Amino acid sequence: MSHGHIKIAREGRLTIITIDRPAAHNALNAAAHEELAAAFDAFAADPDQWVAIITGAGEKAFCAGHDLKQQASGGGMATPASGFAGLTSRFDMAKPMIAAVNGVAMGGGFEIVLACDIVVADARAVFALPEPKVGLAALAGGLQRLPRTIGLKRAMGMMLTGRRVSAEEGERLGFVNEVVAGDVLAAARRWAGDILACSPMSVRATKEAVLRGLDTPVERFLTEQWDYPAIAAMMGSQDAVEGPAAFADKRAPAWSGR
C-alpha cells in the first residue's frame, strides 16, 4: 500500500515500512516524516502487528537523512514530536523494530538504524553521521545512541570526523547484527520470524526492561521492574499461561499476544 513517500505492507503479524523516495536517495522531506510518524503510530496501536521492518526503496540508499534541498530552499528541518522519521524520539515503542539497510544510511538515516533493535545490512551499505561536514550535528539521538552501542572512543572517531563506515566494520563495531550479500529484506524477515516464534508479551517486556535498565542501577531496577507496563502486561497475560502449558504438553505454543 502506497502512502505518498512510503509504502506499507503487512505480512501476518509483520509490518514492513519502505521509504519510497529512491530518486532522492530516500532522504526525508516534511511530508515523508509525517507519513512515517503516522505509520509507526498505526503499528504501535495495532494489537495484531507484533514486529516491524523499516527499509528503503531501490538498491542505493536506505535513507540519506534530511532532504537538504528542502532545507536549502527555506523548507526548514522540522520533524514530528516522535522524532526523525517518526521513530527516533518514540521511547515508548515496546514492539521490536528491525532495520533492513539496503544501502547508504547517512545522518538521520543512520539515526533511524540506531533507534532500531536489530540491524541487518547489505554488504554494500555505508553508515555515517556526516553532519559536521555540512555545519550541522546529529541531534536526533545519534550522538547518544552511538556511544552507548559501540563505546565512547569508537563513536567519537566516527562523530567528530563524519567518516563513513562499511557494513562489515559496522558489524565489528557492534551496531550491525548481520551483513548479507543479497536479499537484505529476506534476512530481516528471517530475524522477524525468529522473534515471532516467541511470545510478543515476553519480547516487549524484554525490550522495555533492557532499555530502562541501561540507566537504572541493578538494585533499583530489580525492585521497580514489576511496575513497568510491558512487564506487568506479560505477567498477567494469557501467554504467560500458554507458554508453560505448551512446554508441559510438548507442543508449539499458540501465542495470543494478550
Mind listing the pLDDT tens digit for each residue in 158-175?
Answer: 999 999 999 999 999 999
Mind listing the pLDDT tens digit for each residue in 181-206?
Answer: 989 999 999 999 999 999 999 999 99
Same domain? For 130 and 222 the reply is no
Same domain? For 123 and 10 the reply is yes
Same domain? For 107 and 44 the reply is yes
For 17, half-sphere exposure in the C-beta direction (CA atoms, 13 angstrom radius) is 30
Any residues with CB less than 8 A from the CB of 195 and at least 6 apart, and which? 50, 51, 96, 118, 203
Across the chain, what does the average pLDDT equal? 95
Give pLDDT, residue 55: 98
The boundaries of the domain holding residue 114 are 6-196
Q: Containing H/E element for 18?
A: strand 14-19
Same domain? For 143 and 57 the reply is yes
Q: Which of 34, 111, 169, 224 is catalytic?
A: 111
Q: Can you list the positions of beta strands (E) in 140-244? A: 165-166, 178-180
Mind listing the pLDDT tens digit for each residue in 64-86?
Answer: 998 877 655 555 667 899 999 99
Q: Is residue 256 part of a domain?
A: no
Q: Which of 11, 35, 59, 131 is catalytic?
A: 131
This prediction's pTM:
0.95
Cβ atoms < 10 Å from Cβ of 197: 11
Same domain? For 100 and 217 the reply is no
Same domain? For 61 and 167 the reply is yes
Same domain? For 146 and 230 the reply is no
Same domain? For 125 and 45 the reply is yes
Average pLDDT over residues 247-252: 96
Asked about 131 being catalytic, the answer comes back as yes
Does position 155 have pLDDT exceeding 60, yes or no? yes
Does position 10 have pLDDT exceeding 80, yes or no? yes
Q: Specify whether the CB–CB gap between 205 and 233 falls below 8 A.
A: yes
- CA geometry: angle 228, 146, 36, nearest 5 deg: 70
Same domain? For 143 and 66 the reply is yes
* Domain of residue 137, CATH code: 3.90.226.10
Asked about 168 being catalytic, the answer comes back as no
Q: Is residue 254 part of a domain?
A: no
Same domain? For 154 and 71 the reply is yes
